[in-house]
Structure 1
Amino acid sequence: MFQEADYRENLSLALSEVLDDIGVNERMVMRRRRQLMLEETMINITYRLTDKNMTEYCLGSQSEGTTTRGLHSDLDILLCHHDYNIIQDWSEWEHGKLNYLMIQDENTTPGYCFLQLLQPDIPLPVTVIPNEHHINDRSGRILLKNTLYNGAIPGAVDHGPSNAEQGQDGFCDTDIVPAFHCKSWPQSASDWLDRQGIGRWPTQDMRRYAASTGCFVVATGSKVSEYPELEWRISTSLAERCLMSNLNITQIRCYVLLKMILKSFLNPHAEINISSFMCKTVLLHCIENTESSIWKENNLFTCLTYCLLELHTCVQNDCCSHFIIQENNLMAGQFTAEKKNELSKKICDVLQNDSQMLLRIEIDDLGYRLQVKLNIVPHGIYYYHYSIDIHELYMTEEYLGRAYSTSYHHHDILHHLHNKNIRTMKQFVGKLISFRVNSNRLEQIALKFLAPILFTTYGSALASSRVAENNQVSPEVLVWLSAGLNSDISSSRLKLASVFYSTGDMEQAELILRHIEQQYYSYPVVPVCTCVKKPPAVTAELMRICGEQSEDCIKHITAFCVKFIQEEINCIPYELQYEMFRSTQDDMIHRHWFKDCWMDWAVVDSLPFLYFLQYKIYRHLQRHQDKQQALNKLIRTIVTDENLKHRETALNILGQCMEQENRPQQALNCYLLSLQQRARNNAANFHVCKLLSRIFAGQ
């Protein structure tokens, strides 16, 4: 018996060390959580600035820090629309709002509800069906159908209540779930607030916080419902996020192991039998019903076995009660008798061969790593190398993720500001500053990344309006442009140089460009662009820098693509202005309303734009040798840089340089290569016609 206890303890400690090696430790869990909370904050700042009456919540494994690289967990987004006021009591009705009353009766599945439409001017039910999204039930109630948001996110795949964005290499899949918020705690979960388990967990503080979060209703019905289009699932996601954030590291590791076992042995071919949410629910029940003292590193294997036994019981009984709304059976209608027997047998196999099963897990090389820890196989060079580098890799992904988020939300705001006049843009920046003054700590950190690039855009647009009036740059313009210089290593400085170029101050522009080029080669710079989702190559040197420095190093290792909206047109060389008019009416049919909105702007990668501006400036200054060097660098960058996101634009401006060099055949080759990159919505179509016209006219 003692030998068995020693074996389980040794295995537990080895498992804990392996999970530590692959990033399931306190430090990395907290970093993952902070990263997702910053992402959530940045999203919601953008919504508030652009007057969208909604809030996004980042949920699931990514936000909990309960995942690894090998698990490939989705990012779960709850998109909450605030135009709807969901109430459980008539006292919560609000004048002028779209009020819906949550109804739970003998016709609704436990954990689900109907939503009855109420009048906006008096607290009474509506009696006439207003549109196709509502239906009149047998009792005469006007109920909202849960098909309201079907297909609401273009390009996404419907997965029950969620819309999943898939198929982008290097980026995790995203499940976007539309929902409505109810300010009050669900009545069906009122008993949970007073429930007390053996381990006195959750604590009273957790329960009080959970109650303050209210609940959501999500657009999906139960699989066993008689009214699948009318039911809305009651979700306590924020309360669950609070519970997960209060787990200790052994409990988190136990959950990660459950998911690895689930993916390796219970759902081996990506079929969804038992969900990770069921595993999470089982874990929470086990924590509640045990003493907190058992959840320690040297007892991890025993805790895992306990959770697997509980999961087996749930499958055999066809019942896995939701942790908070206990009457909601998560397994109701999920399995046929044949599938239940198959799953029960698989779980028994895991339990009977538990330690051997762990050695077979390929996710994150967990089985191999465990064999090394237990001296089953000799220590390998590969093993140690990978263990050291993985933490640097996590840091690198975190920092690059922050940069991509900044670029994405800048993109979203530019879409909002497109075709707005300078006065409207000034009001927008004023709102941003006011928001920054009154922000909390997390919002201040998010704005530290988001604000500079927006200040640059406003400064450039203001400069464009001044150039149109008197071809001068005012001190106010320079203040705004200076405030944004540290957004990244190059894009904001390139805009400043472009402003000076447009006003004829070639010396000042050339000085800025020289400084950018020096900085560019001091670090391994990563191009960041959200117009074209293509992950960058991560080098060992980049990982080393990210592992050694703080998140502020983002400003030195990333180069955003340079985006000019129509309001900045007077501050860019005319060769780039063609990019703003790339689309014919026929081309417009082949564009996505949001993802391709950048096609109405002039967008170019930083490095090609740097060399192009140098070429233009040296040509103006008649420094022919420097001009030729800049042109050669532009050519070399286009040919050799695999990370370019707007190669077609770089080829277009190179083609125009070739035209100015009186090399029409090379110019035509550039445009044809550009069209190979993007056949439609490409200014190269205009350049080809223009060039051929000149050639024929010359002949």
Structure 2
Amino acid sequence: MERRETFLRRERMEMIALHLKGYNLECFHFGSQSECTTTPGLNSDIDLLISDNTQNIMADWRDWEYGRKNLLMLHEKITPTQQSLLHDIKKYTPEPFTSIYDDMCARKDSEQVLISAERYIQESEHIFSERGVVTKNGPPLPNWDVVEALSVCKPVPKKQRWIERCRGRHSPPDQLLEAAQVAPSFLVPAGHPDSDYKRKEWRLSPNLIERMLMLSFNMTQIKCYIVLKLIKQSLFNKMVGDLTSSFYCKTLMFYTIERTHPSQWKEHNLMFLLVQCLQVLRKRLRLGSFPIIS
């Protein structure tokens, strides 16, 4: 609890420093260091997400705002799950741009003007390094993983469907679902490796909701999650290299906890619960899909 509080205080201090410098940015510590779900030997990074709040990310046309930079999330049949394209929309009329006006823009086959995720990364790192904001291109930061993202404050259909699906269940609790309702999501400039538009795609990440869920874990759930990560590192990494990540272990936990009564999450049931998680993993590998929380 002390370690978690330390990271939350660091997060607030970093945010205050950015605001005092005049940046419309927020920063968040995510991952196992701030969640306290790591052990010696896992070599866990310190994860920092820097969120840009200057853009208005639209889930649909009703979200358009006068005078702001508006970006409409596009989902097509060929767009992988959790991935979006960002359609550039004018500030003063709810109309899409039809011509490329700066280096961050790129065209799609249909002539739509998009914001390129790849070029956004390049531009952000250049600006942040010039202004002294910590980035991967700045001073050496051992064991730090820094990500730039766009904040999504409007309701996202996938998140709403997850909240509605969980209502009335024993987990997550209603209080957490109410907090998740108003928590922003983030668009991270990261395309799907198998997509035709991977350089233009953005991944929708419900990091704040994931953190709420992780901070609600009891000690048995924390231990189960850490053992899954140890199995991943000692066994799976030798088989498939870096194709697995802690994200898969975390998602297995969320999925299993939703479908297991809270009374079962006791210390003496740890091996049984671990096997439950691994059975979910085996089933999902056979299906060729992985459950997501939103």
1:93-147 per-position Cα deviation (integer Å, ceiling 9, x unaligned): 2222211011112232221111111111122211221122212223332111111
Task: Give secondary structure in 2 for the equivalent of 1:225.
Answer: coil
For 2:93, which of 122, 125, 132 is the aligned residue? 122
Within 1, Cα distance between the matches of 2:218 and 2:169?
A: 13
Within 1, Cα distance between the matches of 2:137 and 2:43?
A: 14
Q: How does 1:239-638 map to 2 (within 5 A)?
A: 239-268=209-238, 271-324=241-294
For the aligned residue pairs, the C-alpha RMSD in angstroms reads 2.4
Task: Give secondary structure in 2 for the equivalent of 1:272.
Answer: helix
Shift of 1:308: 1.8
TM-score by length of 1: 0.39
Task: Look up the match of 1:70.
Answer: 41
**How much identity, in percent, do the aligned residues show?**
32
Task: Give secondary structure in 1 for the equivalent of 2:117.
Answer: coil
For 1:83, which of 40, 54, 57 is the aligned residue? 54
Task: Look up the match of 1:149.
Answer: 121
Within 2, Cα distance between the matches of 1:166 and 1:69?
A: 27
2:186 is the counterpart of 1:213: no
Count of residue pairs brought into register by the alignment:
286
Unmatched runs of 5 consecutive residues or more in structure 2? 127-134
Task: Pick closer, same or farther for the CA change 1:166–1:50 going to 2, 3 Å.
Answer: closer
Matched AA of 2:180: A
1:533-579 per-position Cα deviation (integer Å, ceiling 9, x unaligned): xxxxxxxxxxxxxxxxxxxxxxxxxxxxxxxxxxxxxxxxxxxxxxx
Within 1, Cα distance between the matches of 2:139 and 2:116?
A: 30
Matched AA of 1:182: V
Task: Pick closer, same or farther for the CA change 1:101–1:166 going to 2, 3 Å.
Answer: closer
2:236 is the counterpart of 1:236: no
Shift of 1:197: 8.2
2:11 is the counterpart of 1:37: no
2:75 is the counterpart of 1:101: no
Within 2, Cα distance between the matches of 1:232 and 1:113?
A: 5
Matched AA of 1:222: H
1:572-598 per-position Cα deviation (integer Å, ceiling 9, x unaligned): xxxxxxxxxxxxxxxxxxxxxxxxxxx
Of the two, which has the highest radius of gyration? 1
1:75, 1:172 within 8 Å by CA — same for their partners in 2?
no
Normalized per residue, which structure has more helix? 1
Task: Give secondary structure in 1 for the equivalent of 2:291.
Answer: coil
2:81 is the counterpart of 1:110: yes
2:167, 2:174 within 8 Å by CA — same for their partners in 1?
no
For 2:151, which of 181, 200, 211 is the aligned residue? 181
Task: Look up the match of 2:193.
Answer: 223
Task: Pick closer, same or farther for the CA change 1:317–1:51 going to 2, 3 Å.
Answer: same
2:87, 2:114 within 8 Å by CA — same for their partners in 1?
yes
Task: Pick closer, same or farther for the CA change 1:285–1:172 going to 2, 3 Å.
Answer: farther
2:88, 2:113 within 8 Å by CA — same for their partners in 1?
yes
1:16-75 per-position Cα deviation (integer Å, ceiling 9, x unaligned): xxxxxxxxxxxxxx1121111011011001001111121111111112111123322111
Task: Pick closer, same or farther for the CA change 1:223–1:197 going to 2, 3 Å.
Answer: farther
Shift of 1:322: 1.3
Task: Pick closer, same or farther for the CA change 1:275–1:198 going to 2, 3 Å.
Answer: farther
Within 1, Cα distance between the matches of 2:190 and 2:231?
A: 28
Shift of 1:244: 0.8
TM-score by length of 2: 0.89
2:109 is the counterpart of 1:138: yes
Within 1, Cα distance between the matches of 2:231 and 2:107?
A: 46
Task: Pick closer, same or farther for the CA change 1:280–1:152 going to 2, 3 Å.
Answer: same
Matched AA of 1:54: L
1:198, 1:291 within 8 Å by CA — same for their partners in 2?
no
For 2:21, which of 50, 62, 69 is the aligned residue? 50
Within 2, Cα distance between the matches of 1:167 and 1:267?
A: 30
Task: Give secondary structure in 1 for the equivalent of 2:28.
Answer: strand
Within 1, Cα distance between the matches of 2:37 and 2:155?
A: 26
Q: How does 1:19-30 map to 2 (within 5 A)?
A: 30=1
Matched AA of 1:134: C
1:372-429 per-position Cα deviation (integer Å, ceiling 9, x unaligned): xxxxxxxxxxxxxxxxxxxxxxxxxxxxxxxxxxxxxxxxxxxxxxxxxxxxxxxxxx
Shift of 1:182: 1.2
Unmatched runs of 5 consecutive residues or more in structure 1? 1-29, 155-162, 325-699
